Structures are given as structure tokens and as C-alpha cells.
């Protein structure tokens, strides 16, 4: 199995898409949202576990890479959220309480980073909260 296809690596890639979906819910990813994401990845996500990507870097940096790539490609927020949702359903074992809590805190922080939470972000956050509680 290619290391980039390991569920642990895919987990971080799908998280990157989820966080992009939160930031892009209002159709605009603000620089402040990206800056906050970078800070949280460095301060929290890299300390979560010891998974490495194919380049022997902390797998958590996949969050940043996929977020940036999704923004560059201007992917649709709802499609990214659904992709995350499908992954979660297929890999429930990767979503322990500690990870769920960090996902929620990160998503909330991103949504609040630029001028508070707007209606689109609140809807996306509500969907995420329900998904994480399942």
C-alpha cells in the first residue's frame, strides 16, 4: 500500500478538506482563516500522534497542504464536507474523543477568525457538530 493511501494519512488530508469547507462556506477563504489554521496545526495537530507522510514529515502538515490546494483549485465547500463525512463513516476508528474535540475546536476557530461566524459557517458547523456526535 502506498503510504499516501494509508488511512492515517488520508485522515489528515480529509481534515484539510473539512477545514477548507468551513473557511469556504461563505465562498471566500480569508487570509486570517488560513493563518489561524497554520498556527493550530503547528501548536496542536503536530503533537497529536507520530504519523509521518511519505516524505517523513509529520502527517499533520497534510492538513495545510490539502487546505491550500483546495483553495487554489477553488473546490466547492459542500463537496469537501461530504467527502470528509464519507471518510468518517468508513473510518470511525480514527475518530477518537481527543481527535473529535480538536476537529471541533479547530473548525470553530477557523470560522471565528474573520469577522466572526456568518450564517454559512454556522450551518456548516452545525452539520459538523452532528456528524462528530454520531
**Domains annotated on the chain, with CATH:** 3-48+57-133 (1.10.3680)
Prediction pTM value:
0.93
Residue 132: its pLDDT value, please? 97
Of 85, 103, 110, 84, which is closest to residue 44 (Cα–Cα)?
103
Residue 83: its pLDDT value, please? 97
Mean pLDDT by groups of 10 residues along the chain of 134 residues: 72 97 94 96 92 84 96 97 97 96 97 85 95 94
Residue 95: its pLDDT value, please? 96
The contacts found for 89-98 with CB under 8 angstroms, 24 or more apart, are 91/7, 91/10, 91/11, 94/7, 94/8, 94/11, 95/132, 98/48
Amino acid at each position: 500500500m502506498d503510504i499516501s493511501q494509508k488511512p492515517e494519512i488520508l485522515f489528515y488530508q480529509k481534515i484539510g478538506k473539512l477545514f477548507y469547507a468551513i473557511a469556504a462556506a461563505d465562498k471566500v477563504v480569508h487570509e486570517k482563516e488560513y493563518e489561524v489554521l497554520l498556527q493550530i496545526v503547528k501548536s496542536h495537530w503536530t503533537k497529536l500522534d507520530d504519523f509521518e507522510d511519505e516524505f517523513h514529515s509529520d502527517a499533520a502538515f497534510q492538513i495545510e497542504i490539502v487546505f491550500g490546494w483546495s483553495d487554489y483549485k477553488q473546490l466547492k465547500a459542500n463537496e469537501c464536507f461530504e467527502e470528509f463525512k464519507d471518510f468518517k463513516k468508513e473510518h470511525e476508528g480514527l475518530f477518537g474523543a481527543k481527535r473529535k474535540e480538536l476537529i471541533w475546536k479547530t473548525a470553530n476557530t477557523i470560522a471565528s477568525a474573520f469577522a466572526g461566524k456568518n450564517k454559512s459557517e454556522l450551518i456548516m458547523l452545525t452539520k459538523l457538530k452532528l456528524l462528530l456526535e454520531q
